[in-house]
Amino acid sequence: MKSEGIKMDDKQLAMEILRLLGGKKNVSSVTHCVTRLRVSVNDTKSIKKNEIQSLKNVLGVNIVGNQLQVVLGGKVVDVYDQFVPLVGKVDSDGVEKNNGNLIDRFLDTLSGIFTPIIPAIVGAGLLKGIMIFLMFYKLVSTSSDLYKFLNIFSDSAFYFLPILLAISTAARFKCNQYIAVAIAGILLHPNLITMMAHSNSLKFIGIPVTNASYSSSVLPIIFGILLMSYVEKWLNKVVPKILRMILVPVLTVLIVAPIVLIVIGPIGTVVGDAIGQGFIQLYLKYGVIAGILFGLAYPYLVIMGMHVGFGPVMVQSLSKYGVDYIMGPTVASNSAEAGATFAVFLKTKNEEFKAIAGAAALNAIIGITEPALFGVTSKLKRPLIAVSAGGAVGGAIAGYFKVTALGMGTGPIAGIPLFLGATFIYFIISSVASFVVAFVLTPIIGFEDIPVKKQDEKVELDEKLVTRIAADQTIDSPVSGDVIQLQDVKDGVFSEKMMGDGIAIQPTRGEVVAPFAGVVSATFATKHAIGLKSYDGCEVLIHVGLDTVKLNGKGFEVLVNKGDSINKGDLLLKFDMKEIRQAGYDIVTPVIITNTDMYEKINKTAKDNINAGEELLNLVAKKK
């Protein structure tokens, strides 16, 4: 249950995640998928996983290799947008230092290459489903212009797959994306296709070039751009700086393109075809066994982040053969996740957790399962057994009837267009069976319900007293000391006002008192900061020291709890200035108005030093 977690907006959540993973210096790259913020770090030992897990709106936390995965569900894009400015100039999808084992590094690389292109593949697959729907109900003829246009729209992402992969692979391996696209374009050039179609003895400076089709291919361009990354780096070292802009692109293409056409392309094509055909044959011969195993294991693969390893196989199969067999058991597992979570929704006595489970079940039945998996079933543990059982039953049905998908995506509901075709009815049966099995088994297996916290009722009651519309207000100083302007604080998060405007104080006394009457809106396990909200709608963060989160509470004593009502002048927090300074930390204390956008003007004291309880800030609210 998250009610005891810290309640905060997207910017505050992003800030806390950044602090608890070790700060900006520990971030090498950041990206996100549908539900997860994915932060690659330099040192996983600096991550405070349990404290991140305790944050409000964090559904789950996983560390795969050197990548921290924070499951945020539908909030992921908003938090990502707030997170990126906090870390500044880091790679959004580039390769980073890999400290994990070989498997972790391999999965990280696959994720970095295939995650960015998924929207294009999903869109193409859905368009194919729409085409089949229109044809099935005779709403369009295959000879019509509309059909031909839709066919072009849905095929383009697959046909030009090498170009999409060139972009994401070049970004991953940190080489020039435009040269990478040029090399992909060589493989798809109409003249090359014509030459290979009319000759079996092509040669490049006397070296035979094997005939191969590179449209819709996967491995040739990935290995080609991997080679290019090394060639480009080498050329940048040996070519004089004054000539690099001209010679490096030309020499890169002249070196890489022939090697791709002569060696890498043919080998990659053979290997890629073998992998795609191998999985197809596996399902054709052992569909039931494969479906059961996949359905059983899939939720655990998602938890470990290993499900990304199937992406390349699915793309290869779809691009070469037009169908995929992995999506069937995957969607069956999603349906089981929805069934188990819905059962929890009906059975739990905790009203707040009931709301979480209900929303998660709805997301899961659509096709977004992470809120259910991380926020409900894996958290309660036993329902995850029902998910595996339901997935195995649905996977067996999908495997037996050879359920095929026309594209990558999710489901069950969101995936309906992907399964339109001869096996569509079996897709429905496998999805329903998975849902029902998990739904029935969950209450039979049982689970330990999340206890109801009495304090939650108090928090809700007190917060109702707080106005939702900011009004003019005076903020007294919460600490005594020397006044420092925010731009002079030696921490970019505060000096650049990323969390809001305000002022800072260099304390002369280790006490923090309430600057107004209101409610304690947030406390932190590390005790270094406290969030307050006044009855007039002002939201304040008092942050004692810089990077003092690393002290893990040493030298701090918090005297209030989240949800407590406070009066002006109440003692909230004590801190040992000597101990904190001896540990090497600056105790300058920023006082931040986190809802700065609600105010027309923030007037700051002109005093050079101030006592706790004296006027520090005067806020002028925007007129409604």
Q: What is the CATH number of the domain that holds 43?
A: 3.30.1360.60
Which carries the bigger pLDDT value, residue 595 or residue 100? 595
Each residue's pLDDT tens digit, 534-574: 877 788 999 999 888 888 888 999 988 888 888 888 889 99
Distance CA 549, CA 556 (A): 10
In a domain, 111, yes or no: no
Distance CA 375, CA 371 (A): 5
Which residue do the tokens 């206890």 mark?
451
Task: Tell me if the pTM is above 0.75.
Answer: no
**How confident is the model at residue 460, as a pLDDT?**
43
Percent of the chain scoring above 90 in pLDDT: 27
Q: What is the mean pLDDT of residues 351-376?
A: 82
Q: What are phi and psi of 67, to 5 degrees?
A: -110, 125
Which carries the bigger pLDDT value, residue 544 or residue 43? 544
In a domain, 105, yes or no: no
My answer on whether 140 and 187 are in the same domain is yes
Which of 99, 127, 151 lies at the terminal end of a domain, its last residue? 99
Helix (H) or strand (E) holding 501: strand 501-507
Question: Is residue 474 very low, low, confident or very high in pLDDT (cuts 50, 70, 90)?
Answer: confident
pLDDT exceeds 50 at position 464: no
My answer on whether 472 and 421 are in the same domain is no
Q: How many domains does the chain have?
A: 4
**How confident is the model at residue 439, as a pLDDT?**
96
My answer on whether 562 and 494 are in the same domain is yes
Distance CA 27, CA 6 (A): 23
CB 591 within 8 A of CB 502: yes
Helix (H) or strand (E) holding 441: helix 424-445
My answer on whether 41 and 88 are in the same domain is yes
In a domain, 109, yes or no: no
My answer on whether 461 and 440 are in the same domain is no
- The amino acid at 453: K
Question: Is residue 456 very low, low, confident or very high in pLDDT (cuts 50, 70, 90)?
Answer: very low
DSSP SS3 for 558: strand
Order across the sheet with 27-32: list the strands.
27-32, 36-41, 67-71, 60-64
In a domain, 567, yes or no: yes
In a domain, 452, yes or no: no
Distance CA 19, CA 28 (A): 14
Catalytic site includes residue 175: no
Q: What is the CATH number of the domain that holds 499?
A: 2.70.70.10
My answer on whether 22 and 128 are in the same domain is no
Got the DSSP string for 218-244? Answer: -HHHHHHHHHHHHHHHHHHHHS-GGGH
- The amino acid at 397: I
Q: What is the mean pLDDT of residues 172-198?
A: 90
The single residue of 1, 33, 34, 275 carrying the catalytic annotation is 33
My answer on whether 296 and 279 are in the same domain is no
Each residue's pLDDT tens digit, 107-123: 667 777 877 887 787 77
Q: For residue 556, give the DSSP letter.
A: E
Helix (H) or strand (E) holding 189: none
Q: List the structure tokens of 401.
A: 């009837």
My answer on whether 55 and 131 are in the same domain is no
β-pair type (27-32, 36-41): antiparallel
In a domain, 450, yes or no: no
My answer on whether 31 and 144 are in the same domain is no
As a dihedral over the C-alpha atoms of residue 41, residue 42, residue 44, residue 49, rounded to 10 degrees, the angle is -40
**How confident is the model at residue 419, as a pLDDT?**
86
Question: Is residue 94 very low, low, confident or very high in pLDDT (cuts 50, 70, 90)?
Answer: very low
Percent of the chain scoring above 70 in pLDDT: 88
As a dihedral over the C-alpha atoms of residue 223, residue 224, residue 226, residue 232, rounded to 10 degrees, the angle is 170
Q: Which of 306-310, 314-318, 332-336, 522-526 has the lowest mean pLDDT?
A: 306-310
* Pick from 599, 618, 621: nearest CA to 515: 618
Report cis status (omega within 30 of 0) of the bond before 208.
no
- The amino acid at 388: S
In a domain, 589, yes or no: yes
Q: What are phi and psi of 622, to 5 degrees?
A: -70, 145
My answer on whether 372 and 441 are in the same domain is yes
My answer on whether 378 and 237 are in the same domain is no
Q: What is the number of alpha carbons within 13 Å of residue 377 lying toward its C-beta?
A: 34
**Distances in whole angstroms, Cα of residue 608 to Cα of each of 256, 479, 581:** 65, 14, 22
Q: What are phi and psi of 388, to 5 degrees?
A: -60, -40
Distance CA 250, CA 252 (A): 5
My answer on whether 126 and 36 are in the same domain is no
CB 545 within 8 A of CB 586: yes
Range of the domain at 55: 10-99
In a domain, 425, yes or no: yes
